[in-house]
Amino acid sequence: MMLYWAYKVARGDFTYWVPFKGCKGQFVLGVLRTAIKLLVEWTAVVQFRHSHDVGGLYFYLNLLQTIILGLGSTLAYEDDNTEALDKSMVTIIMGSASVGLILSFGLLLLSINREYVKSFTSSKTSNVFVQEYFTRREEGFQKIRVFGINEAKWRKAIGG
C-alpha cells in the first residue's frame, strides 16, 4: 500500500477528483485511495483503471503483482497443521486462479472496443486527463464539467 501511495505522490497525482478540502478532506481522500486500491487488489474491478483511480498501467502491474505474490505465497506455504490443505492442493488452487485471471483478462482485452485497450497501459495521471479533457472539447457545456472536479487537478494548467 505504501508503494502505491508513494507512486501517486511522486507523480503529483495523490489528490482525488472529488473536491475535498482541509484536514477532513485529506483524511477522506486517504480512506478512498486505500479502499479503491484494496478493491482493485482483491477483485480486479476494471473500472478503477481510470486515471482518476489507480491508473491503467498501475492496474495492469497490480494484476501481475497479484499473480506473482499469490504463486510465491503458494511456494512458501507450510502445511504444519493437520487440518490445513495439502501444499499440492494449495498450489493447484492458486495456479488455477492465476490462469483464470490471465485468461479472463485476455478475453476482456480481446472483446472490448479497441480504443479502450490503451487505457490498460496508459501512464496518464488524473491531472493530465482532466486538462486534456478540457482542452480537447469544443463545446462549452462539455468543458464546464471540469470545474466540478477538484481544483488541484486543473487550476494551475487551465486557470480560472
Gap between the Cα atoms of 155 and 145, Å rounded: 14
Annotated domain spans of the chain:
1-55+124-160
The answer to whether the beta carbons of residues 43 and 27 sit under 8 Å apart is no
Percent of the chain with pLDDT over 90: 11
Instruction: Tell me which of 128 and 95 has the higher pLDDT.
Output: 95
| pLDDT average, residue stretch 98-113 | 91
Task: Examine the pLDDT at 160 and tell me if it is beyond 60.
Answer: no
DSSP state of 12: T
Q: What percent of the chain has pLDDT over 70?
A: 87
